[in-house]
Amino acid sequence: MGEMSQHEEDQKALQSSEPAASRTLELSVVIPVFDEQDSIQAFMPKLIEFLAARGPDFEVIAVDDGSRDETLKVLKQLSMRYPDRLRVAHHLINRGNGASLRTGLRLARGDIAVTMDADGQHAPEDIPRLLELIPPYDLVVASRTEAYPGIWYRNLANGFYNRFASWLTRAEIKDLTSGFRAMRRSVVSHFLPLFPNGFSAPTTTTMAFLKAGYNVAFVPVHVGQRTHGQSKIRPWEDGARFLMVILRMIMLYDPLRIFLPLGLALFGLGLLSWAAGVLVAGRLVIPNSAILALSSSLMIWLLGLISDQIANSRVQYHGDESIVVFGPDGEEIPGLHDNLE
């Protein structure tokens, strides 16, 4: 009887703002789930009821990634409790966090998509802070603060990824791997084919948005401890994948950022080898090592130029919020940027 009463209360709270399936929603929240039967029982109702109280049209898409426990059963029960609010997708086998995000984003109907974890680390109360920056930003990342209670070696690795990616992109990246983020769905749909199956999807979106010319913002939020279970990230294997994704994104959009320094290093090494050969021989001579290094640097520069031409031949920006125009009164002129492409 108590369950029926709670169910009726939930339905009454959500009835006034149930979205129609035939129209686009304002917000889609995509949550990848794998063996999270304990955490989602508390997290999902908290998330849905918070969004319902906030008022906009929304949906929550939970993607069960082939869980081995009762996660799918719990999600089905929750979808019956929150019809037209919670949609459940299921992978027959475990395909990875990135594959789950790709599935959820393809199913999403919202103009804005928010991705977050179901382990209790991300607070639904922080979602409005991300949404209020879209527009003018296309991607807003909830960056973890220095008080983030993560394992020391993961925090150290994340700091290295942030600095390395910042250097490659020429932009300050405060949190490259945070899974809590909001983005324009029409933009992220361009990058879904680039999503890897593993835990590198956040890295992919951050790098792709930045290098394709979109507007990216970072909002510091407090990230708590996991309420249940353990992290599925494997430090060495997934860490290597993070590095590969960073390099892959740079190669797609700004290959000279890699080829130019590498060519300069080989060119400098060739000059040092040449100078050493002259000093040792006491006459003008070009050692084989100098010839190899100098010719390699030339080949790398030529390959970089070709790659850069290919990268720049693509249309890099598909948005319409990169320009804000103000009138004489200092107020933004609405809709004017739509005619500036």
Q: What is the pLDDT of residues 116-157, one digit of tens each?
A: 888 778 888 888 999 989 888 999 998 876 555 555 556 676
Phi, psi of 88 (to 5 degrees): -120, 130
CATH code assigned at 143: 3.90.550.10
Distance, in Å, from the CA atom of 177 to the CA atom of 40, rounded to the nearest integer, reads 22
When the pLDDT of each residue in the chain is averaged and rounded to a whole number, the result is 76
Same domain, 184 and 44: yes
Distance, in Å, from the CA atom of 273 to the CA atom of 250, rounded to the nearest integer, reads 30
Same domain, 48 and 100: yes
> Which domain range does residue 335 map to?
255-341
Buried b (16+ CB within 10 A) or exposed e, 46-77: ebbbebbeeeebbbbbbbbbbbeeebbebbee
| The two three-digit tokens of residue 240, written as one number | 């290597």
Task: Strands of 171-297 (E only): list them.
Answer: 181-184, 216-221
- Please count the structural domains in the chain: 2
Amino acid in the structure at residue 318? H
Q: Please tell me the pTM assigned to this model.
A: 0.68
Maximum Cα–Cα distance for the chain, whole Å? 98
Pairing of strands 86-91, 58-65: parallel
- Categorize the per-residue pLDDT at 288 as very low, low, confident or very high, splitting at 50, 70 and 90: confident
Q: What is the pLDDT of residues 41-72, one digit of tens each?
A: 888 889 888 988 877 688 999 888 888 888 88
Same domain, 226 and 319: no
